[in-house]
Structure 1
Amino acid sequence: MLRRVLLLWILLSRADSFSVTVPSAPIHVVRGDTAFLPCEYEPASDVSNLVITWQRQEDSKVVHSFYYGKDQLDRQSPDYSGRTKLNHEELVKGNASLSIANLGLKDAGKYMCIVSNTKGTDRGELQLIYEAFYSEPRLSILLGSTNVTVRYETEGYPKPEVMWLGSEGQNLSDNLEVENAPDGGLYFLKSSYIAQSPFSVTFTLKNPAAPQKLQRHVNFSYDGNTSSRTSVVVLSVLCVFLLCSTGLLLWLHCRNHKK
């Protein structure tokens, strides 16, 4: 009886010492890249009893599983089909790290690494953060009768911090529009500032998840003898004249060719 109690105590003490280790800091991964989720455990000499299960913490979806010495993907969520991989050569060393290819917004969240072998069972939980760098902002300048609207458009994730700064570095008011892009993995941003010309402003965008900061300077001026409105009218007349001239030349060329 004493021998049985001693054996049970030894097994329980081993189980208590067994632990799974994952990073405490969130894992940041850029859209479309491969995510690497670290997970380590105390290995056993015999891996035939090794069971590894990666799951989503929010809904317990199976991301990847391994037992009986091979990957077991029959119960894997379709969201991860063909995208996950364990390094089998590292399992004997106590490394159950998982890679997830082609990361998207739906992959963001908390993951559990659950490991069981002859030394015990334990789990670790880590967080995966999805981010997308904002694209090069596209500039538009809209001339009104009494003012000028400067607008930048760009896409990225998550929602950024946007500011317009004056020539002295002062914070200017702006009109910001943010909406989901069609694929759901990006935000489409339009930010504009209405000014009285001439002016000098700076558009600033900070991505809170990625180490990304964009600054674009806009200087706008015109000849003091000509209003911006008149400039637009003159430019329009010139465009119409050029189009008419081109059409006339093409008509004369075709007429001479027929003769």
Structure 2
Amino acid sequence: MALRALVLTLLLSLLGLGSGQWKVMGPHKPVQVVVGEDAVFSCFLSPKTSAEAMEVRFFRDQFHAVVHLYREGKDQHNMQMPAYQGRTELLKDSIEEGHVLLRLNKVTLSDTGLYGCWFRSQNNDHGTTWELQVSALGSAPLVSIMGYVDGGIQLLCKSSGWFPQPTVKWKGPNGYDLPSDSKVNADRHGLFDAETSLIVQENAGSISCSIQYPDQSREVESRVWIRGAIFQAVSWRLISILLGVFLSVLCVGVLGLTISFYIFKGKIWADLDQRRKHGVAELREARKYAVEVILDVETAHPQLHISDLKTVCYKNTQQEMTYTDKKFKRKCVVATQGFQAGKHYWEIEVGHNVMWYVGVCRDDVDRKVTHVTLSPNNGYWVLGLNSEHLYLTFNPDDTILSPRKPPTRVGVFLDYEAGTISFLNVNDQSFIYTLTHQFKGLLRPYIQYYGSDEKNVTPIVICPVSPRSEKGAPCDTDKLEPYP
């Protein structure tokens, strides 16, 4: 498959008719997805070039096998292969920079194969390919008793619904592999069923049945305990009954749980507890440095309506105003206050809106550009929520975050001399993330807000903060309905 991808990519390069002003970059390694999840393919032009007026084609195996087609400024759904109709979405938020994402919903095994994307303009065209690898995680191993063999008990372990073909192992108390008889068969859907048997002796201890992907990226395990008391001198039938009851009760608690799951779960809870403790302490400390932040109306984009010098409302219609050097051409606004020393803290009510960023920016950032990565390299230190409902920051590249709970009120704590800016979830008093940088120059509080649907958005508000309070002061948006 990798050789096919290389050959097809070379053919696409040879077929390019343009002058070579730009080329297409795609996934540099196979995209791996589990059955039922969504796959996301990323393609972009290098160097950055607007693709709004271009034809963008995603295809499967062959150029004419259309997965998704964008042409003449809109999606051409009637050109898709039947297997992909209603399952694709082209994300064009950054198409002006030549970057698009294709989301393929609810991937199945039949989606496995070679994919490519192709950009065409009036004087150039170019494409690239990659491989989609689909896997299926099978059921938890079911351990059962087959009977007595050679003075021991024969155990049978079964699991079904795997792809690709898994490996099956028995492991002893010390974690070493035990010799066993195993077989793997494919069903009529192309999924693999695994089965393995093992004979254990008295006082065998902890025995586990492990089934995993060939690359060991996923593993499912069931564990049982074999003790000497089970092998008392009683009738074979009674021993079978007692062991069957013992294993049945034990398996109820352990089936489907793996060692990796326990470790992962423990790390997650420990991390969340640490975030909570860290957040409570830092929030208490940060509120000692609460400042009043007032928005600078003259810097606001015409679609951002400022009221009370603290409230940002988004409207589809632009206000009539004269552009000055202070005004941003992006949908953002900064505060009148600027900081270049000391510690400062403020809170922003973002509600349940999406596509927002809050934090600070340097006073000398370029305000005339319409698109810029909000990275420290460009003078921005922010936390945000994008259209895909992912919380992220830039450090300096985009970093996906996982808050303990979705924040509706965000605390921003700037320590200029220490070179840190921390983001806190005021709702549950938990710590989210800290950016570290050696600050230079004047920094201003920053809000960016893309209200995509005016009927389902609420204002974003800078809230009053009580330095001595453990909880945030009431904010005007606490009971607001979506902005009419």
Change (3 A) 1:233 1:129: closer
Contact 2:143–2:222, Cα closer than 8 Å, also in 1: no
SS across alignment from 1:15: coil
Match in the other structure for 2:194: 189
Q: How far apart are the structure 1 equivalents of 2:140 and 2:241?
A: 31
Cα deviation, 1:53-88, whole Å, max 9, x if unaligned, reads 111126852111111221113231111111011123
Which of 87, 90, 97 is 1:93 aligned to? 97
Match in the other structure for 1:225: 233
Match in the other structure for 2:347: none
Cα deviation, 1:168-227, whole Å, max 9, x if unaligned, reads 54432222232234544x322222223345534332222235722334332224142214
Match in the other structure for 2:181: 175
**1:52-201 paired onto structure 2 within 5 Å:** 52-57=56-61, 61-118=65-122, 120-144=124-148, 146=150, 147-155=152-160, 156-184=162-190, 186-197=191-202, 199-200=204-205, 201=207
SS across alignment from 1:106: helix
Contact 1:205–1:215, Cα closer than 8 Å, also in 2: yes
Q: How far apart are the structure 1 equivalents of 2:51 and 2:31?
A: 31
Alignment-mate amino acid for residue 196 of structure 2:
S
Q: How far apart are the structure 1 equivalents of 2:84 and 2:36?
A: 14
Q: How far apart are the structure 2 equivalents of 1:59 and 1:175?
A: 47
Greater RCO, CA 8 A, separation 6+: 1
Which of 190, 214, 217 is 1:211 aligned to? 217
Q: How far apart are the structure 2 equivalents of 1:46 and 1:226?
A: 79
Q: How far apart are the structure 2 equivalents of 1:55 and 1:125?
A: 9
Change (3 A) 1:23 1:88: closer
Q: How far apart are the structure 2 equivalents of 1:15 and 1:108?
A: 34
Q: What's the offset of the Cα at 1:151? A: 1.8
Match in the other structure for 1:36: 40
For normalisation by structure 2, the TM-score amounts to 0.41
SS across alignment from 1:61: strand
Change (3 A) 1:171 1:232: closer
Contact 1:175–1:193, Cα closer than 8 Å, also in 2: yes
Change (3 A) 1:118 1:192: same
SS across alignment from 1:97: strand
Identity of aligned residues (%): 25
SS across alignment from 2:94: helix
Q: How far apart are the structure 2 equivalents of 1:180 and 1:51?
A: 42
Alignment-mate amino acid for residue 222 of structure 2:
R
Q: How far apart are the structure 1 equivalents of 2:101 and 2:209?
A: 41
For normalisation by structure 1, the TM-score amounts to 0.73
Change (3 A) 1:209 1:30: farther
Q: 189-198 vs 86-95, which deviates more?
A: 189-198
Q: How far apart are the structure 2 equivalents of 1:13 and 1:60?
A: 17
**1:11-50 paired onto structure 2 within 5 Å:** 15-41=19-45, 44=49, 47-48=52-53, 50=54
Change (3 A) 1:137 1:29: same
Change (3 A) 1:112 1:145: closer
SS across alignment from 1:204: strand
SS across alignment from 1:218: strand
SS across alignment from 2:80: coil
SS across alignment from 1:211: coil
- Computing the radius of gyration from Cα coordinates, the structure with the larger value is 1
Change (3 A) 1:67 1:35: same
Change (3 A) 1:75 1:209: farther
Q: How far apart are the structure 2 equivalents of 1:150 and 1:34?
A: 38
Alignment-mate amino acid for residue 71 of structure 2:
Y
SS across alignment from 2:20: helix
Change (3 A) 1:223 1:208: closer
Contact 2:115–2:131, Cα closer than 8 Å, also in 1: yes
Gaps of 5+ in 2: 1-15, 244-484
* Matched length: 223
Change (3 A) 1:227 1:122: same
Contact 2:58–2:68, Cα closer than 8 Å, also in 1: yes
SS across alignment from 1:152: strand
Change (3 A) 1:14 1:233: closer
